[in-house]
Structure 1
């Protein structure tokens, strides 16, 4: 993976998209749905992961858009 993982996190003005390790939000949205849409696009472009946090801060969803070194068997 070459890009930063994208996190959708609660923000004072709604929901923010943040690159892993970044202090500042990349973008802020009024709805979590819009933030997820943006984070997914960035993660797909960068070949990284998108992690969606709930209002309590816990990760509730994770999607990978990179080359997974351990792809699921099936």
Structure 2
């Protein structure tokens, strides 16, 4: 169930209202992307604080005037925290802990899996939702295959 301004994790209660609202928005989008709550909350909180630091007072006021994060459409909120990743391919690449799934240009993987097949499935699911592509790499780092979903959007 998505969080709202009236129902959110207690770890967000001491945040300023704009930061709390942005963190809820980001965390809900991350949950939609398959993140665990335990990872989504601290990442969303950090990104929300960074957003507030870089946002103008007008941007903050406009954001606060928008409805509750759950009232906006899924498309509007899914990539608000990182809109530049919306059109990027999902990569499956070797990782110290198994196989990582990350958006091209993202610094950190969204997920890490023990099995390559699980990582490929997740990357394809994300790429299909975004209308982009999943790029699969071999253990040596060379490209193995590409799965394009751009015609689905």
Q: Same fold (TM over 0.5)?
A: yes
Runs of 5+ unmatched residues, structure 2: 1-85
CA contact (8 A) 1:51 1:61 kept: yes
Q: 1:41 aligns with which of 125, 130, 139?
A: 125
- The secondary structure found in structure 2 opposite 1:4 is coil
Which structure has the larger Rg over C-alpha atoms? 2
Q: 1:17 aligns with which of 82, 85, 101?
A: 101
User: May I ask how many residue pairs the two structures share in their alignment?
Assistant: 67
Match of 2:142 in 1: 58
**Higher share of residues assigned strand:** 1
1:3 Cα deviation (Å)? 2.4
TM-score between both structures, scaled by the size of structure 2: 0.42
Runs of 5+ unmatched residues, structure 1: 69-74
Question: Which runs of 4 or more aligned residues in structure 1 lie more than 4 Å from their structure 2 counterparts after TM superposition?
Answer: none
**Higher share of residues assigned helix:** 2
TM-score between both structures, scaled by the size of structure 1: 0.86
Higher relative contact order (CA 8 A, sep 6+): 1
Report the Cα distance in structure 1 between the residues aligned to 2:99 and 2:114, rounded to whole angstroms.
6
Aligned-CA RMSD value: 1.4
Match of 1:71 in 2: none
